[in-house]
Amino acid sequence: MSTDICALCPVREHALCSCLSDGERVVLAGFCQRRRFTAGETVMWAGDESRICANLQSGVLKVVAATTDGREQIVSLVYPADFVGEPYATETAFTVTALSDAELCTFPRLLFERFLEEHARMENLLLQRTFKALNEARARMLTLARLSAGEKVAGLLLEMAAQAGRCRCRLGLSEPVTFDLPMTRGHMADVLGMTIETVSRQLTKLKSAEVIVLSGARTVTIVDGNALKGRAMAA
């Protein structure tokens, strides 16, 4: 993999490898493969041998758990600069699928494990992110179990807006923030444990209250970030 690709990486400052020196990035890039997935394509299957780890460069992935009778639940979302995969696990625990067209930098799991063991800063950062992901999973359990439909939708909009522009999104300031939803309303419903009709109804309420503006199928403008935060406050 060309080191020029690393230099032009859109998530270079936020991905797991951001803690590495230029020389260390060259070593990591030596066994990296850039892969593209189309919307709906599966990156990893639950139960398969754990073969790869990856940094997501663009797009959004969903992490799905399934019951024995085939019912599915989205348990987390993977955004650009997030890490996906399970070092030190021989079997993949969850199915990971592209919600949108996505691009990843993938690494063979065994080589990535060896690299982690030789680079403590990266290993520590991965541990920090693992604990963060655990806390987010616990918060999502609260969302599914206790929050109202309005609180759930408002919280998810805030999450997606922040992830859509890690450095430029400034919710709560006077100027509006515009971004494209990285998923359909059906996917939002799956994430939140709701119906599509309920999600649409809550979005319409936010629009009528002039908290957001909806343009086309997926473009959202948050007109009043403070009001949206207030509606998601319980989250």
Q: Which two tokens stand for residue 190?
A: 């799956």
% of the chain at pLDDT higher than 70: 92
Last residue of a domain, one of 117, 144, 171: 144
pLDDT at site 166: 57
Dihedrals phi, psi of 113, to nearest 5 degrees: -60, -45
pLDDT tens column, 172-221:
445 788 988 988 999 999 889 899 999 999 999 999 999 999 998 889 99
Contact 95, 46 (CB under 8 A): yes
pLDDT tens column, 219-235:
999 999 999 999 987 54
Neighbours of 4 (CB within 10 A): 9
Domain that holds residue 175: 147-231
**Which CATH number characterizes residue 70's domain?**
2.60.120.10
pLDDT at site 165: 64
Overall domain count for the chain: 2
Alpha helix ranges (H) inside 31-170: 109-118, 120-146, 149-164
**Full pLDDT tens readout for the chain, 235 residues:** 445 667 778 898 899 999 999 999 999 999 999 999 999 999 999 999 999 999 999 999 999 998 878 788 888 899 999 999 999 999 999 999 999 999 999 999 999 999 999 999 999 999 999 999 889 888 878 777 888 999 999 999 999 988 876 544 444 445 788 988 988 999 999 889 899 999 999 999 999 999 999 998 889 999 999 999 999 875 4
Same domain, 196 and 174: yes
DSSP state of 49: B
Amino acid identity, residue 63?
Answer: V
Same domain, 137 and 62: yes
Give the integer Cα–Cα distance in Å for 81 and 74: 19
pLDDT at site 170: 47
Give the integer Cα–Cα distance in Å for 117 and 88: 11
Same domain, 36 and 23: yes
Last residue of a domain, one of 144, 168, 200: 144
Same domain, 132 and 218: no
Sign (positive/negative) of CA torsion 15, 19, 25, 27?
negative
Same domain, 124 and 162: no
pLDDT at site 234: 56
Last residue of a domain, one of 144, 162, 193: 144
